Structure 1
């Protein structure tokens, strides 16, 4: 019987979420789709109405700082407690009472104020015992850094300390266009590369050998780190690294990103409208050229040679400004544009109008939180194309049905694909005859609909079946 052939008997995970804003809503949305027991608490009846009308979750109106509300919401039985309101102070107090009520539950808090992060030990030890602190600003900077790490890529993730890469590249011409995947080895004989997914418009496909690559597809390749140049070469992508960057918006994210780029030795220009803010930025930064100006002023962008930039990153708090400045930069010849979009619903629209990448602090926080609440021996997880699919890195448990069988006999459903097996220092991009051994690291890509089955399969053992 195959690995996925029957549903394992695993206790349902219970998650209590304080905060029904964008972050709380999207986490609840993802978890409800995976049939987890979700309870969401908020003081706003309007926010809770939006949740209850769309999602199959339980709602409680009240303050997340109230131990009575937390008790009534069943925090004592929660496996995971998430405090993700827009207020750092509410999130901290909510974790304080949650720890008193349910000391064994995993607690994750969204905390943005850098001053609190300086005292991380006080937050993660008693009396709070916060397991993980999520800072949306830091998460979005990590996302931008990944986007620029591989020239020519539209998405990029790493697993197993960087030994396994998952890279998405838009394929517009070259030997792969028009090829069915059963002929992939005729074009790419390197067995350390496989095609993990294809994004076509708004559709995400976990492919079979019958699927075909067409011009304009974003193709996700899983490969060893040593085969990354093979992937870029077959896609005909420029391999020149990013060196010259223009950042529009000198807020906290823009400043943090400029500091990171300085450390990496990039040539950075940082633009902000406020004279006072520019003076502050100039004091905080070393090699970055700080400019007072308007990122939506075409003449200003032309004067600053925006057409010669490897990347233009728009990070103001105003979405319209970010979108317009990115479009102007692209029109003037910038090689790559990254745009901050706060509303998650706007994300699909950005690529449709010609902007290369979009980032959302809220969505970055959601993805980071989801990675921390996966069951089983899951080491990391990465969302692909928003909520379309997820790649999970996990440890294969010794007494699981997963081990000791050829991959072709695991009966994985369509929409699920084993990308890599990591055994000690060895990385295997699997074939049908590959076998998973106890304690191997495995990386599995799954569509949203199958994530819960994958997660349960990673948790279940033969004794539970």
Structure 2
């Protein structure tokens, strides 16, 4: 597949790494010479310096025979025009654009992106997706990650194993018989900075970060068995009133009644805007999230959760630490730089949110072939959890799971058949049109695509 990526920032670079590692033909365009050269030198991709929306630059990038254009520059307008040029001049079949400005996304303007106007195939809005993801974590405070799949019937949940967990040191193959109420599959374990897809004889250890797939109705039980009994926050402080903080505040107001909400925003004009736009019960403070007096005025020390979502990673980290030092129970921290992640747990930050990872996951859902409905990336290039529909000709429907011989690194987490959610075992047989949740390490993702795209003769 030939792909043009407009923008060599963190998101563009991450997508380029994903796609180039799967032997796709990838060209990355950026106006910054340094970023374009870094892509050219550091990855198996072509870096091109230029304006991503200019027809001559897109022509040089090979748009005439490209299969897909992914526009993720820092400018919404450049992303939109790049898609327009890719469609009108070069006929690129799939055009994905990141749109961050909320004004473009209001329902009353949806006709703007109709095929005959601004022909964008898929719009990615990371700020809204990040806000929704944080809201899900607020509803389940024991989890550091939570992703709905299969129309919300199942969830992928990330949780930290504490000393209170009865699951520790029990072989995974014996979990169901030992704990009949545990209706979940552990699909990935991160231990000492290394991720792996567990086998039946593996055990969970204190301090592991695990991902499990579970029926939505069983999430609280599973999280509790990992050792978590945290209560939902009733007092919440948001540091940063940008698009993420503003969208999160609106979700909290509309969907989490009874939560006392305070927002700290350093920009006076922005603080005034969000104060006018939110409910009177929401308190907006103009000030710096690194100022102890401002945090005290926001009663951050008495809040159950602080959410730090400014545009600056260092501000988010230190605001979180100051609030926890003052007595705040839990910190959810936005980080753009993945290089910080290895030290975050040691600092006492509970949840890290990566806008880049959210955007990459959203885009990969449309890049993946076959009947793929959703994709969630785990770790920095570790693997993906994929939701896809099983076809009549797929190898997956040929025999019970225990006899198919899935390679190590690939694991079935759940099967959704109509309204029924099946937590599989070796005797389970997938049927045509089942929705299947699959964990696959990065080297096996292409094989998952083929499983959901071709017939038995391929194998």
Counterpart residue number, 2:417: 423
2:395 partner SS: coil
Say yes or no: does 1:74 pair with 2:65.
no
Counterpart residue number, 1:294: 288
Counterpart residue number, 1:225: 216
Aligned counterparts, 1:70-149, within 5 A: 70-103=58-91, 105-118=93-106, 119-149=109-139
Report the RMSD for the aligned CA atoms in angstroms. 2.0
Counterpart residue number, 1:268: 261
CA distance in structure 2 between the aligned counterparts of 1:378 and 1:49, rounded to whole angstroms = 33
Aligned mate of 2:169, from 140, 159, 178:
178
TM-superposition CA deviations, 1:221-264 (whole Å, max 9, x none): 22112222321332231152232210112223222211111112
- Scaled by the length of structure 1, the TM-score of the pair is 0.92
Moved over 6 A (4+): none
Say yes or no: does 1:17 pair with 2:10.
no
Aligned counterparts, 1:112-261, within 5 A: 112-118=100-106, 119-173=109-163, 174-190=165-181, 192-261=183-252
Counterpart residue number, 2:391: 397
Counterpart residue number, 1:320: 314
CA distance in structure 1 between the aligned counterparts of 2:399 and 2:90, rounded to whole angstroms = 40
Counterpart residue number, 1:281: 274
Aligned mate of 1:350, from 340, 344, 348:
344
Aligned mate of 1:434, from 428, 436, 441:
428
CA distance in structure 2 between the aligned counterparts of 1:226 and 1:98, rounded to whole angstroms = 44
Aligned residues: 453
CA distance in structure 1 between the aligned counterparts of 2:125 and 2:341, rounded to whole angstroms = 20
CA distance in structure 2 between the aligned counterparts of 1:15 and 1:274, rounded to whole angstroms = 39
User: 1:25, CA displacement in angstroms?
Assistant: 0.9
Q: In the alignment, is the contact (CA less than 8 A) between 1:247 and 1:312 conserved in 2?
A: yes
CA distance in structure 1 between the aligned counterparts of 2:126 and 2:335, rounded to whole angstroms = 13
Q: In the alignment, is the contact (CA less than 8 A) between 2:239 and 2:264 conserved in 1?
A: yes
CA distance in structure 2 between the aligned counterparts of 1:444 and 1:205, rounded to whole angstroms = 14
Q: In the alignment, is the contact (CA less than 8 A) between 2:16 and 2:45 conserved in 1?
A: yes
CA distance in structure 2 between the aligned counterparts of 1:463 and 1:89, rounded to whole angstroms = 46
Counterpart residue number, 1:453: 447
Aligned counterparts, 1:306-317, within 5 A: 306-317=300-311
Q: In the alignment, is the contact (CA less than 8 A) between 2:285 and 2:298 conserved in 1?
A: no
Structure-2 change in CA distance of 1:95 and 1:225 (3 Å): same
Counterpart residue number, 2:382: 388
Q: In the alignment, is the contact (CA less than 8 A) between 2:182 and 2:221 conserved in 1?
A: no
TM-superposition CA deviations, 1:329-352 (whole Å, max 9, x none): 122222221112233333343334
Higher RCO, 1 vs 2 (CA within 8 Å, ≥6 residues apart):
1
Please list every run of 5 or more consecutive structure 2 residues that lacks an aligned counterpart in the other structure.
Answer: none
CA distance in structure 1 between the aligned counterparts of 2:383 and 2:233, rounded to whole angstroms = 28
User: 1:127, CA displacement in angstroms?
Assistant: 4.4
Aligned mate of 1:334, from 328, 349, 355:
328
Please list every run of 5 or more consecutive structure 1 residues that lacks an aligned counterpart in the other structure.
Answer: 1-12
